[in-house]
A and B are shown apart, each in its own frame.
Chain A
């Protein structure tokens, strides 16, 4: 075994790559390595269910940084290796291939893996998921042979896939087990809007649909059997029912875990010199309902937590308090969201849904909590500020499209995020 890496990052996704980038940006001069189990250099995941699935963006345009970047910045890439065990006492990790690395700081950025369908037939050929480049390449090779495609799960990934596949001329059925799509992340109004859009584009969208079994024909999926007994034809099934955080090696090493690796406001785990960031990190988010610890699956969170860890490692710690934001592209609809809507007690619709340009604003206790903007970048930009400042705004004014949202940002805190900065400073002593 060689010298320990000053910063050893596990997972070469958004969070892992950005941790290395931010470490160098913040002046870290020590050695950095990234171990990743995928063969590729770090790439963007969002296009996997958008342009890359649609075939309109080639893989080389998804790379987060070109190959030279990593060598030029002395970031050692160790791809194609899977970390299996961690020994916090000797500060070493061991990979499936037997290779072993030691660390001064370990950053766990292992993301999550798709939940598999808990029913018979879930492992038939032709059943896919969308998490990695390999997943989408596998879909692409079978796409020409598939006319009827069944997408299981009405979250963002399922809906984006349905939109792309419809555009490619496939007959798409989308099955959602709940009584509305996007139930986990958005309010009723937005769910209904997207349901209408998908139906208008020809998707056979079924709510309250429970899958009993995937029917195979000589090892390949041929249909989906629903609980009520109906069989839907499907030469391909795409399962998008959420992810499970990758945390087993850390949990086995003794790190506190519970649907995610538990981290504090500096992304530190319960083990010394081990941090966790990105999709796998369960943290207290100041934008979630009070006291709620969550995992946040977004590029924003991956990048901002990476920044938080990098600052902690270079000795300038700042509490994690970044405003959550997210986007999703379906058909010609660009959704941009800011804040976290869960727990809202009032909803305001701003703009005209029929014109396909509007926003849904979520309030709690009169405070601006979150916003979902459809084809409405102006509201997104101002809404993000309103989320950050936690402004108290009347519903009537929010609904009035004659009043720009920007005019409702409290002037004293515009751009300064006073509340956040105050908490950020407290933590650093």
Chain B
């Protein structure tokens, strides 16, 4: 379990205990945050799980693949800390995390 702060596009905040071994997308969805569409269910076919991610140990994050990079490019709201939350499996050692759900394109 690791602490994840979820911020919705409207600015509401919620702290959840994220389970290790599943993705950030699944953790946000399991916490019942409706604003994360994640339409393709995490198979890198859309960009509807786009978040701005901050973690205590960024060195533990998997690198952005070409495919993830291309999909993130579809957003008008891409920032340097943009990630597809379906591509990051939570590890306990990642420490505190915050994920702000990006506005839809």
Contacts and interface: CB of A to CB of B under 8 A. Distances in A.
The judgment on whether A and B are partners is yes
Interface of A: 21, 24-25, 44, 46-47, 50-51, 61-62, 64-66, 68-69, 72-73, 299-300, 303, 325, 327, 329, 334, 336, 377-378, 380-381, 384-385, 406, 415
A415 B45 contact: no
A65 B44 contact: no
Given A73-B32, A327-B40, A381-B74, 17 more contacts: A24-B34, A46-B43, A61-B26, A64-B29, A65-B29, A66-B30, A66-B32, A300-B39, A325-B46, A327-B45, A329-B43, A334-B45, A334-B67, A378-B70, A378-B73, A384-B74, A415-B105
Given A46-B41, A336-B45, A65 B34 contact: yes
Contacts of B37: 303
Interface string B5-40: 000000000000000001000100111101101011
A47 B26 CA distance: 15
Contact of B44 (A61, A334, A378): A334
Contact of B41 (A47, A68, A385): A47
A65 B32 contact: yes
Interface of B: 22, 26, 29-32, 34-35, 37, 39-41, 43-47, 66-67, 70-71, 73-74, 76, 105
Nearest to B45: A327
Contacts of B34: 21, 24-25, 65, 69, 73
A327 B37 CA distance: 16
A99 B29 CA distance: 32
Contact of A62 (B40, B41, B47, B66): B41
A415 B43 contact: no
Given A24-B34, A65-B32, A44 B76 contact: no
21 contacts: A44-B41, A46-B41, A46-B43, A51-B43, A61-B22, A65-B29, A66-B30, A72-B32, A73-B32, A303-B39, A327-B46, A329-B43, A334-B44, A334-B67, A377-B44, A377-B66, A378-B66, A381-B47, A381-B71, A384-B74, A406-B73
B76 to A, nearest CB: 5
A65 B34 CA distance: 8
A303 B41 CA distance: 13
Contacts of B73: 378, 381, 406
A25 B32 contact: no
A385 B46 CA distance: 13
A121 B76 CA distance: 54
A66 B29 CA distance: 7
Contacts of A50: 43
Contacts of A21: 34
B22 A46 contact: no
Contacts of A25: 34-35
Contacts of A325: 46
A316 to B, nearest CB: 16
A299 B40 contact: yes
A2 to B, nearest CB: 25
Contacts of B32: 65-66, 68-69, 72-73
Choose among A50, A61, A62 the residue with the greatest number of B CB atoms under 10 Å from its CB: A61
Nearest to B40: A327
A21 to B, nearest CB: 5
Nearest to A14: B39
A377 B43 contact: no
A63 to B, nearest CB: 8
Contacts of B105: 415
Nearest to A326: B45
Contacts of A68: 32
A72 to B, nearest CB: 5
B76 A377 contact: no
A242 B39 CA distance: 22
Contacts of B35: 25
A68 B34 CA distance: 12
B39 A299 contact: yes
What 5 A-B pairs are tightest by C-beta distance, nearest first?
A327-B45, A69-B32, A381-B74, A377-B70, A378-B70
A140 to B, nearest CB: 19
Contacts of A415: 76, 105
A299 B45 CA distance: 11
A21 B39 CA distance: 13
A326 to B, nearest CB: 9
Contacts of B31: 66
A62 B42 CA distance: 10
A353 B41 CA distance: 27
Nearest to A64: B29
A46 B70 CA distance: 22
A374 B14 CA distance: 38
A381 B70 contact: yes
Contacts of B43: 46, 50-51, 327, 329, 334
Contacts of B70: 377-378, 380-381
